[in-house]
Structure 1
């Protein structure tokens, strides 16, 4: 059955899930997406939560001298052992999975399935951020060795805003008893249903075939999917990749910023270098109050909040227009040239601080605000805290084919990793 034309083509797959009798609790074996785990503290916390925590598959460790391939081999061995021991097991029949998250006053529902990665998908799925080659290489090595998709990408599409088509099927399904339900330590509740009725699946796929999607989270995994598809002759399981599709007309997401940690630049040096080109002023803490100052400044133009070992907060705003004219590429739309991330990467990192953005030793990308501040203060680096971009700006740039600087946005809530996996050998 292939109802997809020029739009999204989502198909059922045999989900691989934890067997409740073989684990302590479902919450204890789940994890945030791999790039949200703050290493090493977050990694160790998850590893100690349960011996079968999914982090052992998405971020395998093979000792301090372990090569990337050794880590990937370890993940594959762990996956095969858990399947053989019955810790994980494939569902009896292919399904699309209705997934629900609740928390913080937000309700999100969507569909998890295997999305076709056809050549046309380049125009059907819209990326909005650049990717880092070394991260794509890392993810490709893991997926290639384990022959699995452990984490769904988060994709958004704009439905009609009412309970029709796929959304009607989702909401009817959510009134039934779920396959699983759990609450993770962040306070979010999660429920999952299997959608196996052929009529329901046909209705969902026919509706989705009318839409294109924006990558909300998972640009590196999307690039990895396309790379691995190109490595394998079609048809093969590599023609599809695991995704979560959310109708944001019905279930709006939150958009947060991804912060930067400058590992080898103390904050006093960062401020001194920026002072000739930006207004630099100390703002009062604590962190929540300092972030309010950042939001107020960002309403009027580019603004960044810096902190480090001195435990004070400094606002950088009002950049020198002449410097921006010299450093920001002029061949992009105005909406792109005025992004905070554009000014950070093109002007501050590239010219004021002289830091290569693609060097993990120099720049770390961290989703959690408190963790960014804590690591900067502990390691005598500089936390550069960002203000989030509006979703409509992201979507419009993506439709124009304009990619934002890497790690510009963080859409959420992100799906919990470990609720349902896709192994290519079982699909």
Structure 2
């Protein structure tokens, strides 16, 4: 099944970087233009210049964000800003954060290389759809820089928490790298070179499938890059570094593993009227009206609790279209979703809150096609529960659909069925920080057995 390996990471040289937080960055796909500008200002060595460089007006095939990233990557290594570890290692990676109602939570995992497997083998299981644009972008970056700058987020199942037991003693020492990000999440990294520990951890995962939690575009990009490099090689053993990808491994049974929802906002629908829409919703859903003050934090919190409680036993979606009313939609009959899916589609996918919203509500009732959804025509995504209320009240959008979190068992069941959820069905919090370790895909090097 899964094949993982230690590697010699490229890391920031803390003898030359006095403020580590100034050089790290969130994943490229959550960096807004404003944050990109801010990261550029924080340090001339911030990783944003590698993972999401600015586009300049005179860019061409020979000089662009990808070639500039490659130039920065080479120069920073030449200048000792980035240095490569001497020994193949794995890197323990903990994230400590505050979760509402839970207090301090720590998600524990480690970073290593994972052998790239085609999805058809069933060894690596995706759960979300991908788009061609981001994959083309990441492939150009990988070709230019020959490196993985950010790890894929991978999950495995281990109810006995063997990896955690093997490594807890190692974490008693001071971390090799520790930063607190803009959201207050504390990121800690420990390098592990002990061959015995590495061997036991690698052995732990050899009989387990891997589930992609986050980084679907980057994983498919790595597959495409592997195939590109193989086509350039007269022969390959399978141990070349381009056959592997940088991955963060976390136990899906870890108590620090939380999934947050992503809410949907709808805008720009001509001739939309709420009353006929509510009538149509009533055919499929129990529609309950609850009073909410969109400007009051306590009232919004109560609305979220109502939605969570309704979603404990059956799919439930919140609808806010202005005023002081939150409509809670609970599906009357799960069998009603059969008409919107192929008969071979698993029940796990048919009865997901996000599947019901996208297929039944957005496509059938609001006529927002799957293509329009992918292009985010009439549709936007918001992670914060409070923001959709203000967006509706200000007229930025016509309505907001408030979602409950997708559960871990649902992610596993859909992935095991070989199926894909709609985009942004899961939001694994916190995000992995980019800049802790880099995997250089060095020509001629191979992984260790």
User: Which category describes the TM-score, using the shorter chain as reference length?
Assistant: 0.7 to 0.9
| Corresponding residue of 1:107 | 106
1:284 to 280, 292, 304: 292
Q: Is 1:130 the counterpart of 2:146 in the alignment?
A: no
1:275 to 275, 278, 285: 278
Distance 1:323 1:393, change over 3 A: closer
| CA distance in structure 2 between the partners assigned to 1:130 and 1:407 by the alignment | 9
Query: TM-score, normalization: structure 2?
Result: 0.82
| CA distance in structure 2 between the partners assigned to 1:376 and 1:145 by the alignment | 43
| CA distance in structure 2 between the partners assigned to 1:174 and 1:257 by the alignment | 31
1:422 to 439, 442, 445: 439
Give 1:374 deviation, angstroms: 5.7
Superimposed CA distance per residue, residues 174-214 of structure 1 (whole angstroms, 9 cap, x where no aligned partner) = 12332112222322222111111222222221222121122
Contact 1:303-1:315 at 8 Å conserved across structures: no
1:62 to 37, 55, 59: 55
Give 1:364 deviation, angstroms: 3.7
Q: Is 1:155 the counterpart of 2:154 in the alignment?
A: yes
Superimposed CA distance per residue, residues 323-364 of structure 1 (whole angstroms, 9 cap, x where no aligned partner) = 745434443122211111111221222222222111145434
Distance 1:303 1:249, change over 3 A: closer
Secondary structure of 2:173's counterpart equals coil
Tell me the matched-pair count. 416
Superimposed CA distance per residue, residues 8-37 of structure 1 (whole angstroms, 9 cap, x where no aligned partner) = 211111111112243351122222222333
| Corresponding residue of 1:333 | 346
Over aligned residue pairs, what C-alpha RMSD do you find? 3.1
Contact 1:108-1:251 at 8 Å conserved across structures: yes
Distance 1:319 1:399, change over 3 A: closer
| Corresponding residue of 1:74 | 68
Contact 2:226-2:243 at 8 Å conserved across structures: yes
| Corresponding residue of 1:183 | 180
2:329 to 299, 302, 317: 317
| CA distance in structure 1 between the partners assigned to 2:88 and 2:148 by the alignment | 15
| CA distance in structure 2 between the partners assigned to 1:369 and 1:395 by the alignment | 25
| Corresponding residue of 2:251 | 247
Secondary structure of 2:196's counterpart equals helix
Give 1:379 deviation, angstroms: 7.1
| CA distance in structure 1 between the partners assigned to 2:389 and 2:146 by the alignment | 37
Contact 2:119-2:126 at 8 Å conserved across structures: no
Secondary structure of 2:272's counterpart equals helix
Give 1:302 deviation, angstroms: 3.6
Distance 1:78 1:300, change over 3 A: same
Query: TM-score, normalization: structure 1?
Result: 0.86
Give 1:97 deviation, angstroms: 0.8
Contact 1:282-1:313 at 8 Å conserved across structures: yes
| CA distance in structure 2 between the partners assigned to 1:373 and 1:64 by the alignment | 37
- Structure 1: which 5+ residue stretches go unaligned? 1-6
Contact 1:24-1:50 at 8 Å conserved across structures: no
Give 1:284 deviation, angstroms: 0.6
- Structure 2: which 5+ residue stretches go unaligned? 99-103, 231-235, 282-286
Superimposed CA distance per residue, residues 33-62 of structure 1 (whole angstroms, 9 cap, x where no aligned partner) = 22333x233333333333332223222221
| CA distance in structure 1 between the partners assigned to 2:324 and 2:59 by the alignment | 39
Give 1:366 deviation, angstroms: 4.1
